């Protein structure tokens, strides 16, 4: 062998591989908490909207922790009509219906206005899960109603005792910006758990997932009110990108721990984690989301072939 030829690197130990995976996870969580979380908690809002009071703020003990908004080119009364149809027993949530039904929500997907579904009274339930499932606990209760402007629901955490008053709220507010346009705002407040494990789950899992679904809901209402609903095919393509990038994230982590070329696999692991956050939180066009998944497949699967090619070149040089 030529003296200038680099020596092969010693294989990484199991401990080093585990440490590398945990290091990447820690870095990703740090970025999520410090940079990405402030963005998605206040997605679409102005500084003034984040700071001002909205209907329902005083109805629960918890302080506001997320406010989101979207501009809609449709009259405020038409926007509110779509909002008033929210619910598992009404028109659904205009979000990723396929994903909701995958976890048993039995969510309808109604894409037309029906005045019979728009009537509300304080105490009515906003069903998020079938009433005959989860012991009838899959709902929020209407606390405040301003016809044509606001719906405010009281929410609970899984740790709230049965019959306890709401520990949080979820508000929907529609405000006209002109005769033919409106601003739709949502605000969530309170509802946090008091255990460190519950707090960690809320920050790392529930909040990002809730944002992904709520963002799609806001965009779904916008599309319906403006007469250009998001296609069901687009939703399915986006969900496939979620599944693909998350699956590749897990697969690349396993390959770091037990496979060859752990450094390359670690790069793929970090890339898959970033891609999963992009497709779920930034929600780019479906074609771009699937392109990211394909690029990750190439990054992960190309390593063995390149290694085999390198081995063949070495045999040729030594023969």
pLDDT tens across 269-298, in order?
A: 999 999 999 999 999 988 898 888 888 888
Quote the CA–CA distance of 82 and 79 in Å, as a whole number: 5
For 53, phi and psi rounded to 5 degrees? -75, 145
Helix orientation angle between 262-277 and 232-258, rounded to the nearest 10 degrees: 150
Quote the CA–CA distance of 247 and 69 in Å, as a whole number: 31
Strands 168-178 and 139-146: unpaired
**pLDDT tens profile 37-69:** 999 999 999 999 999 999 988 887 666 789 999
Average pLDDT for 86-109: 96
Quote the CA–CA distance of 151 and 144 in Å, as a whole number: 6
What pLDDT, on the 0 to 100 scale, is given for residue 61? 66
Residue 140 has pLDDT above 50, yes or no: yes
Distances (CA, A) of 17 to 23, 168, 198, 246, 271: 10, 42, 29, 20, 17
Average pLDDT for 71-93: 98
Q: Are the beta carbons of 128 and 271 closer than 8 angstroms?
A: no
Average pLDDT for 137-164: 89
What pLDDT, on the 0 to 100 scale, is given for residue 310? 45
The residue ranges of every structural domain in the chain are 14-38+236-308, 47-230
**pLDDT tens profile 194-225:** 778 878 888 899 999 999 999 999 999 999 99
Residue 308 has pLDDT above 70, yes or no: no
What pLDDT, on the 0 to 100 scale, is given for residue 193? 65
10 Å Cβ neighbour count for 186?
Answer: 22
**pLDDT tens profile 224-255:** 999 999 999 999 999 999 999 999 999 999 99
Which class is 47-230 in CATH? alpha beta
Exposure string of 192-231, with b = 16+ CB inside 10 Å and e = fewer, is bbeeeeeeeebeeeebbeebbebbbbbbbbbbbbeeebbe
């Amino acid at each position: 062998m030529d003296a200038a030829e680099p020596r092969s690197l010693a294989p990484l130990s199991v401990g080093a591989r585990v440490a590398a995976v945990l290091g990447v996870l820690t870095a990703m969580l740090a970025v999520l908490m410090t940079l990405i979380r402030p963005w998605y908690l206040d997605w679409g809002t102005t500084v003034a909207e984040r700071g001002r009071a909205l209907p329902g703020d005083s109805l629960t003990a918890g302080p506001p922790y997320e406010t989101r908004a979207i501009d809609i080119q449709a009259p405020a009364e038409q926007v509110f009509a779509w909002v008033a149809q929210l619910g598992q027993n009404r028109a659904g949530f205009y979000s990723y219906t396929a994903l909701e039904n995958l976890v048993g929500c039995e969510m309808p997907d109604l894409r037309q206005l029906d005045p019979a579904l728009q009537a509300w009274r304080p105490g009515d339930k906003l069903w998020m899960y079938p009433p005959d499932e989860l012991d009838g606990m899959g709902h929020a209760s209407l606390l405040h109603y301003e016809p044509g402007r606001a719906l405010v629901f009281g929410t609970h955490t899984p740790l709230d005792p049965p019959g306890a008053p709401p520990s949080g709220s979820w508000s929907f507010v529609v405000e006209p910006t002109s005769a033919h346009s409106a601003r739709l705002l949502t605000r969530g407040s309170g509802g946090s758990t008091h255990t460190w494990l519950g707090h960690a789950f809320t920050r790392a899992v529930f909040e990002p997932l809730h944002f992904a679904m709520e963002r799609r809901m806001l965009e779904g209402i916008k599309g319906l009110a403006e007469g250009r609903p998001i296609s069901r095919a687009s939703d399915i393509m986006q969900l496939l990108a979620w599944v693909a990038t998350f699956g590749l994230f897990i697969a690349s982590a396993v390959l770091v721990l037990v496979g060859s070329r752990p450094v390359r696999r670690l790069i793929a692991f970090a890339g898959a984690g970033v891609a999963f956050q992009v497709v779920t939180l930034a929600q780019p066009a479906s074609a771009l989301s699937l392109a990211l998944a394909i690029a990750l497949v190439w990054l992960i699967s190309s390593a063995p072939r390149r290694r085999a090619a390198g081995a063949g070149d070495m045999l040729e040089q030594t023969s």
